[in-house]
Amino acid sequence: MVLWKPSPSPRRKGLPMEQEATLPTEAASSLELRDYLMVIRKRRWLIFYLAATVFAIGAMVTFSSPKIYEASTLVAIRQQPSGILLLPTPQGQPQTGQGISMETQRLLVTSKEVVSQAAEKLREQKIGVSEGEIAGSLSSSVEKAGDVIRISARHTNPQYAHAIANAVAEAFVEINRLMAAQQARTERQLIDQRVAELESELAQTEEEIRRFKEEHRIVDLTAEAEQQVQRYTALEQQRDQLEAEVAQQRARLAEIERALATEQEVIPAAVENPVVTGLRKELTDLQLQLISAQARYQEAHPQIRTLRAQIREAEGQLQAALRQSPKAEQLVPNAALQELRAQRAEARFRIVALESQLAALRRYLSEQQALLEQLPLKQFQLDELERKRRVTEQLYLDMLQRQVAARIREGSEPGSAQIIDTGRVPAKPVSPRPERTLPFALALGLALALGMTFFIEYLDDTVKTPDDVERRLGMTFLGVIPYTQMERTLVPLEHPKSPAAEAYRTVRSNLKFTALREFPKALLITSAGAGEGKTMTACNLAVVLAQAGHKVLLVDTDLRRPAMHRVFETDNTVGITSYLVGDRAFEEVVQRTETPNLFVVTSGPLPPNPSELLEMERMGEFLREAKEFADVVLLDSPPAIVVTDAIVLAPRVDGVLLVAEFGRVTREALRQVRHLLDTAQARIVGVVLNKLKAEQGGYYYYYYYYYYYHYGYYGKEGRRSTRHRARSTA
Residue 726 has pLDDT above 50, yes or no: no
The number of beta carbons lying within 10 Å of the beta carbon of residue 76 is 18
Cα separation, 498 vs 519, whole angstroms: 26
569 Cβ neighbours under 8 A, 6+ residues apart = none
Across residues 434-438, what is the average pLDDT? 83
Please, is 490 exposed, middle or buried when counting C-beta atoms within 10 Å of its C-beta (0-12, 13-18, 19+)? Answer: buried
Beta strands in 453-535 (DSSP E): 477-482, 522-527
Q: Which of 546, 541, 616, 621 is nearest to 589 (CA)?
A: 621
What separation in angstroms does the CA of 642 have from each of 526, 606, 646, 672, 717?
A: 11, 18, 10, 11, 43
Binned at pLDDT 50, 70 and 90, residue 290 comes out as confident
Residue 110 has pLDDT above 60, yes or no: yes
Q: Which of 529, 535, 543 is nearest to 491 (CA)?
A: 543
Residue 287 has pLDDT above 50, yes or no: yes
Select, from the ranges 236-250, 476-490, 608-622, 660-674, the one with the highest average predicted confidence (pLDDT): 608-622
Strand order across the 138-142 sheet:
138-142, 148-155, 69-77, 417-421
Across residues 656-674, what is the average pLDDT? 84
Higher pLDDT: 269 or 654? It is 654
Q: Determine the residue type at 237.
A: Q
Cα separation, 229 vs 221, whole angstroms: 10
- pLDDT computed for residue 629 by the predictor: 93
- pLDDT computed for residue 380 by the predictor: 67
**Residues 577 and 609 sit within 8 Å (Cβ to Cβ):** no
Q: Which of 276, 270, 273, 278 is nearest to 115 (CA)?
A: 278
pTM, rounded to two decimals: 0.47
Average pLDDT over all residues of the chain: 76
Q: Which of 688, 726, 696 is nearest to 710 (CA)?
A: 726
Secondary structure (3-state) at 149:
strand
Q: Which of 598, 591, 551 is nearest to 572 (CA)?
A: 591
Q: Which of 670, 668, 712 is nearest to 690 (CA)?
A: 670
Cα separation, 558 vs 573, whole angstroms: 15
336-357 burial, b at 16+ Cβ within 10 Å, e below that, comes to bbebbeebbebbeebbeebeee
Q: Write down the domain spans for the chain.
A: 34-65+432-458, 275-322, 463-712
Q: What angle do CA 403, 409, 410 make, to 5 degrees?
A: 90
The number of beta carbons lying within 10 Å of the beta carbon of residue 673 is 27
- pLDDT computed for residue 222 by the predictor: 61
Higher pLDDT: 95 or 112? It is 112
Residue 487 has pLDDT above 70, yes or no: no
- pLDDT computed for residue 85 by the predictor: 39
Q: Determine the residue type at 478.
A: L
Is beta strand 632-636 parallel, antiparallel or unpaired with respect to 591-592? unpaired
Cα separation, 141 vs 457, whole angstroms: 50
- pLDDT computed for residue 88 by the predictor: 39
- pLDDT computed for residue 540 by the predictor: 92
**Residues 524 and 637 sit within 8 Å (Cβ to Cβ):** yes
Q: Determine the residue type at 329.
A: E
Secondary structure (3-state) at 497:
coil
CATH entry, 463-712, from 3.50.30.30, 2.10.109.10, 1.10.520.10, 3.40.50.300: 3.40.50.300
Cα separation, 466 vs 3, whole angstroms: 10
Report pLDDT digits (tens) over 546-576.
998 999 999 999 888 898 888 888 888 999 9
Q: Which of 80, 85, 153 is nearest to 119 (CA)?
A: 153
Cα separation, 509 vs 724, whole angstroms: 14
Helix residue ranges, H only, 15-110: 17-42, 44-64, 102-109
Report pLDDT digits (tens) over 146-176.
788 888 988 888 888 888 888 888 888 888 8
Secondary structure (3-state) at 214:
helix
Binned at pLDDT 50, 70 and 90, residue 99 comes out as low
What is the DSSP annotation of 237-248? HHHHHHHHHHHH
588 Cβ neighbours under 8 A, 6+ residues apart = 574, 578, 579
What phi, psi does 658 have (nearest 5°)?
-95, 135
Report pLDDT digits (tens) over 30-69.
446 766 787 787 778 888 888 889 888 988 888 888 888 8
Cα separation, 120 vs 167, whole angstroms: 9
Report pLDDT digits (tens) over 316-366.
887 787 777 665 555 666 666 777 788 888 888 888 888 888 888 888 888
25-53 burial, b at 16+ Cβ within 10 Å, e below that, comes to eebbeebeeebbebbbbbbeeebeebbee
Cα separation, 501 vs 704, whole angstroms: 15
Is beta strand 598-601 parallel, antiparallel or unpaired with respect to 477-482? unpaired
